[in-house]
Structure 1
């Protein structure tokens, strides 16, 4: 098989709205750490110098949100209550939602803001394919090229309510995007609301998750590497974090060799 990595790395060296803290305990420091733990917790003396090179194992310490890098949003992220009952956390969702046939829709020529259902229908016609129940639909917005910069969080296109409803009506339960959010940029939504007074422009894709149970994959990457709009399987299994509204995922596309 051929596997295409669709994930954005967790990288403390690039700009994030919630900065990542990543510190590394080196193998040498790990040896000293273990020796100290043996002494204080188990009353055992151990000289780390007897280890090869005086080293044991490294350890990475990270401070970040569950929405950093490529991740899957759970229904509980959208609100504390839902029309369909208690919104499920990321560790409660069916695993078979996240290993499914994929289809990628190219909306990279759309301006900052949102696209509606009519635009998605045009894409269905262009690729001669309509998503089937449980397909994973991936939106190529082109925003991934800005990843790691402040513009990644302000210059992208999302879905309005009608577009999100269309996909859910087709039976889709996982919608992905290479942008920061499935909704429009925060500033764009707020300015539109202030201009129109329409609260429906505020996080319509996310808030629809309070009415219809579904998941989003945000911050995908390399969707342009997919050789065709269909004919691949998406695997985006989220990390099992108890009681969490999201989980990191190593999203990949699996193609026949």
Structure 2
């Protein structure tokens, strides 16, 4: 079995609207810290110099949002109430949603904005397979070429509300994208709202989750490395963050060989 990494990194050196802070306690600093903790809490003295190289263990502290890097959005991210009942947090979601056959849809020819049902129908025809119940849909928008830059957050293709419902009508429970969001960029949505006065253009893909229970995988990467548009399993198990509207995931494709 070949494993293809479909995850984008969490990198404190990359540009993020909510910057990532990465603090490192080195192995040498860890030895000094442990020595001080042992003395303070247990009254024990241990000279760090007796450790190999005077080092103990490193410790990394990251400060970041649950929507940084590749992550899964839970229904509770979309709102506090839903037509189907109380929206579930990420730790409450069934794991079998996130280890399923997948189908990749090519949207790389689409401009910045929100793609509709007609775009998805053409992409499905090109792929040669219609997504079925519980299949994971991967939207290959090509947005990950801007990963690590400000353009990644402003130049990409999302879905409109009808396109999102179209996939959910097929029984899809998890929709993934290599873009920052399953919705169109913020600026695009707000400009269209100002032009039309129609609130339905604002976050329609996310707000669909108030009517229909489903999850999104955002900020995927490397979808071009897949061997085709289907014929593999995607595993994107979210981290069990209790009470959270999202959880980080190491998304991979499992290809039988």
**Normalised by the size of structure 1, how large is the TM-score?**
0.99
Aligned to 1:88: 88
Aligned to 2:168: 168
Q: Please say if 1:117 is aligned against 2:117.
A: yes
Q: Distance in 1 between matches of 2:152 and 2:126?
A: 27
Q: Is the contact made by 2:104 and 2:127 (CA closer than 8 Å) also made in structure 1? A: no
Query: Which aligned segments of 4 or more residues in structure 1 are displaced greater than 3 angstroms?
Result: none
1:215 CA drift (Å) = 0.3
1:119 CA drift (Å) = 1.1
Within 5 A, what are the aligned runs for 1:2-81? 2-81=2-81
Q: Please say if 1:230 is aligned against 2:202.
A: no
Q: Deviations over 1:161-190 (max 9, x none)?
A: 111001101110000000000000001000
List runs of 5+ in structure 2 lacking aligned partners: none
Q: Secondary structure at the match of 1:137?
A: strand
1:124 CA drift (Å) = 1.4
Q: Distance in 1 between matches of 2:109 and 2:42?
A: 62
Q: Could you say what the CA RMSD is over the residues aligned between the two structures, in angstroms?
A: 0.6
Within 5 A, what are the aligned runs for 1:118-133? 118-133=118-133
1:45 CA drift (Å) = 1.1
1:44 CA drift (Å) = 1.2
Q: Secondary structure at the match of 1:72?
A: strand
Q: Distance in 1 between matches of 2:187 and 2:123?
A: 27
Q: Secondary structure at the match of 1:158?
A: strand
1:125 CA drift (Å) = 1.3
1:155 CA drift (Å) = 0.3
Q: Secondary structure at the match of 1:100?
A: strand
Q: Distance in 2 between matches of 1:240 and 1:149?
A: 29
List runs of 5+ in structure 1 lacking aligned partners: none
Aligned to 1:254: 254
Q: Distance in 2 between matches of 1:145 and 1:124?
A: 23
1:2 CA drift (Å) = 0.4
Q: Distance in 2 between matches of 1:39 and 1:136?
A: 53
Q: Deviations over 1:56-95 (max 9, x none)?
A: 1000011000000000000000001111111000000000
Aligned to 1:182: 182
Q: Distance in 2 between matches of 1:187 and 1:214?
A: 25
Q: Secondary structure at the match of 2:144?
A: helix
1:207 CA drift (Å) = 0.3
In the alignment of these two chains, the number of paired residues is 257
Q: Secondary structure at the match of 1:125?
A: helix
1:23 CA drift (Å) = 1.0
Q: Distance in 1 between matches of 2:145 and 2:69?
A: 14
1:38 CA drift (Å) = 0.6
Q: Deviations over 1:192-249 (max 9, x none)?
A: 0000001000000000000100000000000001110000100000000010000000
Q: Distance in 2 between matches of 1:47 and 1:136?
A: 54
**Normalised by the size of structure 2, how large is the TM-score?**
0.99
